[in-house]
């Protein structure tokens, strides 16, 4: 994330990235490894974004996401009208069909992009949903499993998009485990099931004594 923020500060728009000197980008990300390949990929997607940027309400078909076999009713990259009920489609489906990219889009970008939230943690100004707030307030109660059924799109209570993601990448898993701990839950990245976090651990997270790492 620090490298990403530095890169975006230096090149804040897709146009800036696409027109940047590759040597300068490589220098910023060399310590991550494969800097030549990473730079080429970054600039490729910057150009694609500039040519056809994602638009709210416009989704494109994605195959085999989030589960293998999903998306049988769409073509890869197929443009769907806003009223199309098919779910196997995402705003960046014309740019990528990759799981990691779409997971990251949902975790870090989608709610802000769609105007559902006003900050980069996908939390609305009024706070997270009452569903997750209640978990934080009831950490004294006995440990229990929660429902893993996502809220429907018609629910009036806001549920951040990241709460519905089950990533395979270990760093994304680690990040979401930390995010769920902030809400008072111990989260299973394989099943999405949750149990109430102990009071001691919850307080440690809120006080900044627990942070996320890349172990997943």
How high is the pLDDT of residue 157?
77
71 and 107 together in one domain: yes
In a domain? residue 152: no
Classify residue 24: in a domain, yes or no: yes
Strand partners, 90: 60
- Domain boundary among the residues 96, 120, 144 is at 120
Domain carrying residue 91:
53-120
Same domain, 115 and 63: yes
**Same domain flag for 47 and 63:** no
Q: Is the pLDDT of residue 53 over 50?
A: yes
The verdict on residue 151 lying in a domain is no
pLDDT of residue 154 exceeding 50, the answer is no
Q: Give me the number of domains the chain comprises.
A: 3
The pLDDT, as a whole number, for residue 144 is: 42
User: pLDDT band at residue 214, thresholds of 50, 70 and 90?
Assistant: low
* Closest alpha carbon to 67 in 166, 149, 152, 164: 166
Q: What is the pLDDT of residue 120?
A: 56
Quick one: 47 and 58 in the same domain? no
Please determine, for residue 140, whether its predicted confidence score (pLDDT) is greater than 60.
no
- On whether residue 41 sits in a domain, the answer given is yes
pLDDT (mean) for 112-121: 82
pLDDT at residue 52 greater than cutoff 90: yes
Identify the band that residue 130 occupies on the pLDDT scale cut at 50, 70 and 90: very low
CA–CA–CA angle 90, 96, 100 (5° rounding): 85
Give the residues across from 145 on adjacent strands: 195
* Domain boundary, last residue among 14, 30, 51: 51
| pLDDT level of residue 70 (50, 70, 90 thresholds) | very high
Q: Are residues 109 and 69 in the same domain?
A: yes
Residues 38 and 60 in one domain: no
Quick one: pLDDT at residue 110?
Answer: 97
Among 120, 143, 172, the domain boundary falls at 120
Give the tens place of pLDDT for each residue, 9-39. 999 999 999 999 999 999 999 999 999 999 9
Q: Evaluate whether residue 79 is within a structural domain.
A: yes
32 and 62 housed in the same domain: no
In the chain, the N- to C-terminal Cα span, in Å, equals 16
pLDDT at position 208 is 87
Whether residue 209 is contained in a domain is answered as yes
How far is 111 from 51, CA to CA, in rounded Å?
Answer: 23
Is 115 a member of any domain? yes
Q: Indicate if 76 and 100 belong to the same structural domain.
A: yes
> Quick check: 126 pLDDT over 60?
no
CA atoms within 13 A on the CB side of 3: 12
| Residue 1 confidence (pLDDT) above 80 | no
pLDDT confidence of 211, banded at 50, 70, 90?
Answer: confident
């Amino acid at each position: 994330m620090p490298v990403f923020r530095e890169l975006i500060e230096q090149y804040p728009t897709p146009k800036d990235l696409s027109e940047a000197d590759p040597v300068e980008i490589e220098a910023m990300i060399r310590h991550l490894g494969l800097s030549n390949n990473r730079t080429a990929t970054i600039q490729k997607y910057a150009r694609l974004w500039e040519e056809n940027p994602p638009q709210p309400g416009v989704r494109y078909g994605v195959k085999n996401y989030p589960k293998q076999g999903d998306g049988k009713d769409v073509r890869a990259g197929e443009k769907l009208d806003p009223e199309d009920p098919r779910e196997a489609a995402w705003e960046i489906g014309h740019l990528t069909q990759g799981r990691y990219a779409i997971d990251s889009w949902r975790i870090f970008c989608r709610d802000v992009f769609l105007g559902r939230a006003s900050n980069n943690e996908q939390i609305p100004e009024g706070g997270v949903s009452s569903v997750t707030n209640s978990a934080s307030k009831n950490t004294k109660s006995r440990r229990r499993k929660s429902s893993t059924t996502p809220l429907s799109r018609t629910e009036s209570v806001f549920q951040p998009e990241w709460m519905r993601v089950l990533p395979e990448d270990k760093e994304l898993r680690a990040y979401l485990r930390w995010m769920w701990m902030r809400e008072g839950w111990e989260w299973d990245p394989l099943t999405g099931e949750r149990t109430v976090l102990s009071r001691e651990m919850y307080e440690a997270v809120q006080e900044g004594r627990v942070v996320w790492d890349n172990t997943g």
